Structure 1
Amino acid sequence: MSNTLAIDDSFYRLTSSERYDQVLQLIKKSQSIWALADAEGCLIIDLGTDKVLPIWPTEALASGWGEKDHEGFKGLEISATDWSKKWLPGMQNDKFSVGVAPNLAGECIVSSAEEHAADLQK
């Protein structure tokens, strides 16, 4: 078993709140995050009242999550700087939310781009 798989397995054993906090810490340490994208753009999940961009701390987690229901999507690396300075302001303008590290059942903390940006400043 590779270290990546062990990290992935243990990561999904965390609660949604613990996964959210861990991803925030990684972004604060300037680590990249990962979204899913295809030729047409990033995967956005429409929840009716919210349009959510799911993100993960590793490419393996993002790709593994997307394999089940989102064929053709591949991991898209987003630097911590780009996330904070470009993506979140753009998502605020577009009224998109952030879904941080959904597990395979789709459970995660969903916050507005504004809330997520504020959490990164704490």
Structure 2
Amino acid sequence: MNNKEIEVVSKLPASKRYEYFIKKVADFEEVWGLYDDGWAISEDENGNSLMPFWPKQEFATLCAVDEWKNYKAEQIELEEFMQEWLPGMKADGIKLSVFWNNVDSAVLDIDTLIIDLENELKKY
């Protein structure tokens, strides 16, 4: 990825970054999170746990700041993400934070992400 693409995509509205996430994750069959003795988690204004995920390593690395400054981008295979991570997060009551850009992210229901990913994967 080049720096211009990273800059442009990072500045897109959360809904457009979500669309980009779906396409890239389906293309490369991987998801990225931040890890340091545990996965990065944040909270929404209601105290709900949010786990952030990104479509590419570069975007995750850009968010390894402040309380996540010691975290490193870690790859998660898409099949594992869909079969194990998402059902486990749903059972634990953890919400998704898709493509955080240090300002906002798309926060959505896990079932919505599963459907959107399945629909995108059918195109391949």
Normalised TM-score (structure 1):
0.86
* Partner-residue secondary structure (3-state), 2:63: helix
- Equivalent residue, structure 1, for 2:122: none
Q: Deviations over 1:37-83 (max 9, x none)?
A: 102x1011122342111111111211111124412111110111111
Offset, 1:30: 4.2
**Residue equivalent to 2:40:** 43
* Residue identity opposite 1:83 in structure 2: F
* Identity score, percent: 22
Distance in 2 separating the partners of 1:95 and 1:29: 28
Is 2:2 aligned against 1:20? Answer: no
Give the corresponding residue for 1:112. Answer: 109
Q: Which amino acid aligns with 1:74?
A: K
Q: CA deviation at 1:114?
A: 2.2
Unaligned runs of 5+ in 2: 120-124
The offset of 1:119, in angstroms, is: 2.3
Matches within 5 A, 1:1-122: 3-39=1-37, 41-47=38-44, 48-105=46-103, 107-122=104-119
Q: Which amino acid aligns with 2:42?
A: I
Q: Which runs of 4+ in 1 moved over 6 A?
A: none
- Name the CA distance, whole Å, in 1 between partners of 2:8 and 2:29: 19
**Which structure 1 residue ranges, 5 or more long, are not aligned?**
none
TM-score normalized with structure 2 length: 0.85
The whole-number CA distance in structure 2 between the counterparts of 1:30 and 1:8 is 17
Contact 1:52/1:97 (CA < 8 Å) preserved in 2? yes
Evaluate the alpha carbon distance shift between residue 68 and residue 46 of structure 1 in structure 2; reply closer, same or farther with a 3 A threshold.
same
Task: Classify the secondary structure of the residue corresponding to 2:2.
Answer: helix
